Amino acid sequence: MATSSDDMKKDLTYRRYEEGDNEWGSMTDMIFKEDTSYKCPTYVHRTPPCQGSCPSGEDIRGWLDIVRGIEKPEEDMAWQEYAFRRSTNANPFPSIMGRVCPAPCQDGCNRNEVEDFVGINSVEQFIGDTALENKYTFDDAPADTGKKIAIIGGGPAGLAGAYQLRRMGHACTVFDNHEELGGFMRYGIPGYRTPRDVLDGEIQRIIDLGVEVKTSTKIGEDITVEQLEKDYDAILWAVGTHSGKIAPVTGGDASNSISGIDFLSAFNEGRLKAVTGNIVVIGGGDTSIDVASVARRLGAITNINEKDRPENVVMGHTAHDVASTAAREGANVTLTSLFPVENMTATEHEVQDAQHEGVTILGSVMPVEAIKGDDGRITKVKYAKCEMDGNRPVAIEGTEFEVDCDLLVSAIGQNGALDNLDMDNGHGFIDADKNYGVPGKPGHFVAGDIVRPHLLTTAIGQASIAAESINHYLNHEELSNRPKVDVHHYDLLQKLRETGLEPTNYDSSGDQRGTDSTDFAIHNFEDRSANEIIKSTQLFLGHFEYEERNIRKDIPVDPENIIGSFRERMEGLSEENAQAEASRCMSCGMCFECDNCVIYCPQTAVKRTPKKDATTGRYVYTDYDLCVGCHICADVCPTGYIDMGMGE
């Protein structure tokens, strides 16, 4: 029988403070007494910094744990396929991204505090290559919702958007103005970095989900936006930025001054097969490195016909034939950067490869003038050494020098080609709100470089969020705030369902006392992954021994053999090395079954979960009848998964 509220207010048997108490004591002193406390361990899931640093929000720790053998797949699935499926929840291009992503995840890796980061992108490449070799496919799309989305652009953002939307059951049509899909992955990055068979395989997997494709179709010319609005329930703009900028210096408007985007597009389309004379590239990022490295590989024609000049080929006035490019020699290529070479934004190993291949790289210099000859073409570029005032270069007086130039290529940024479209924000881009909707245009969404030029992985991550926003829009649902840590998280409840350990239904009619022994809830677990990224200071770093990174084999190309060499420059990890590299992951924020807490508990209060009830994140439990709150288990937990959080 319940006690009445009146009875509860009389004859009190408990008082927190006695008469005369007028000072608040130290909570630390109240909680901690010698080697015991009122606090007991609880298990807290947080997001590791690798995932927090990944613009596409991959569950990196999750698929590394699968590769290393900690998290097990369902009985009828190989671990290689399980790792592929976990990886591609966020990113459908593991092979390509494992090769070309500059891996900000590795910069954030807590293992840097021990010796060296985990080679995340090398393991990702292994997952992707293995998936292609074994012909893994995505699960079939669910039943059709009856909704249709037009996706404008078949690059990384457009294809990732189609992938996520098809997984929600929506019909998708991808429109692209090129002959083939791939966007910047095909027409911007050279094939020795994104092998075309790999790219084609990863694109085909997406198309096989039932994605309709219309190539060689330009929106605004071949089909109007108004027609799209009539035929489709929503539109995702993923047009990329295919309009490059030329050097903003006097004389930079000459006929032999072109953009890096146009140069690489002409090469990747197969039109540009050689260069001429001295090539000067202005930049400092990955695109400028690609231009310089491609120019070295193409080689220079010595007997120049006007039609063979590269600017004429790039601008579509003519095309190279095999005969005209047969006699080639090494091209002199100079790449210049406003920043010191060591501070260039290009990936470090790409810079090193370019230098090894014979590209001259000059750092801390700024172009001052493009000097023209009598024919109006640039013959030299005048430079000066410079210092940076924030992001603004300041020339150092008296340091001018000239570089011979037959072709000036500027890789200094790009914007969208939005002609005939009422989408331009006045700066060559499309505005986006926090959910990647286009402000003032209901039903229009946007993702990728057309929002802000950045990494391929950024475009993929934006497309994933845009797809969720489109799904809410089609279902007439309000858009909620995005999580503070907006990535794909490990889901313990989903894992319990997968392993047949799902909690039972809650019965409100039963006795609600002593619920720690019931099985309708997940006990002693808190998921803070949507709000917290775990720091290295929360780990027990002393647990980790020095282990050298398993590095992919580099296959350099010597300068004398560079002409016509378009093979891949690195060899992927073997299965053994991929597993060894994955095992270097410190599994920040999630148990990796090291047994430290079991071994070091002086009360034997921490115990292994019976095998039939155990899964990732539920490897151990605490017997609170034995726990004295000594916090040793939390101190020796390498991954920071244990907090002294209960009982305060």
Predicted local distance difference test score (pLDDT) of residue 32: 52
pLDDT digits (tens, 9 = 90+) for 415-466: 898 887 889 898 899 999 999 999 999 999 999 999 999 999 999 999 999 9
Q: Which of 343, 329, 321 is nearest to 391 (CA)?
A: 343
Give the pLDDT confidence score for residue 647 in this predicted structure: 65
pLDDT of 357 > 60? The answer is: yes
**Cα gap 187→185, rounded to integer Å:** 6
Name the band, by pLDDT with cuts 50, 70 and 90, for residue 588: very high
pLDDT of res. 625: 87
Cross-strand bridge partners of residue 599: none
Task: Specify the pLDDT at position 422.
Answer: 86
Lowest mean pLDDT among 362-371, 401-410, 561-570: 561-570
Task: Please check whether residue 490 is in contact with residue 590, taking contact to mean a CB–CB distance below 8 angstroms.
Answer: yes
Report pLDDT digits (tens) over 110-126. 999 999 999 999 999 99
Calculate the alpha carbon distances from 172 to 146, 195, 208, 236, 470 in Å. 11, 26, 12, 10, 12
Task: Identify the H or E element spanning 45.
Answer: strand 40-45
Q: How confident is the model at residue 39 (pLDDT cuts 50, 70, 90)?
A: confident
* pLDDT higher than 80, residue 6: no
Output 548 or 7, whichever has higher pLDDT: 548
Could you give the percent of the chain with pLDDT greater than 70? 90
Domains of the chain, earliest start first:
148-242+416-474 (3.50.50.60), 244-412 (3.50.50.60)
**pLDDT, position 79:** 97
Using a 10 angstrom Cβ sphere, with 0-12 exposed, 13-18 middle and 19 or more buried, the burial of residue 391 is exposed
- Rounded Cα gap, residues 91 and 33, in angstroms: 50
Cβ atoms 111, 584 nearer than 8 A = yes
Highest mean pLDDT among 199-213, 259-273, 473-487, 490-504: 199-213
Give residue-wise pLDDT tens across range 71-123. 999 878 999 999 999 999 999 999 999 999 999 999 999 999 999 999 999 99
Which amino acid does the sequence have at 63? W
Q: Give the Cβ contact number of residue 599 at 10 Å.
A: 10
pLDDT number for residue 76: 87
pTM over 0.75: yes
Element (H, E) at 268: helix 260-268
pLDDT at 319: 62
Q: What's the rounded Cα separation, in Å, for the pair 63 and 130?
A: 14
Instruction: Evaluate if residue 487 carries a pLDDT over 80.
Output: yes
Q: Does 237 have pLDDT greater than 50?
A: yes
**Mean pLDDT for the stretch of residues 505-532:** 78
Residue 320: the pLDDT is 60
Q: For all residues of the chain together, what is the average pLDDT?
A: 90
Kindly provide the residue ranges of all beta strands, DSSP E only, lying in 263-350, ordered along the sequence.
275-276, 278-283, 300-301, 328-329, 332-337
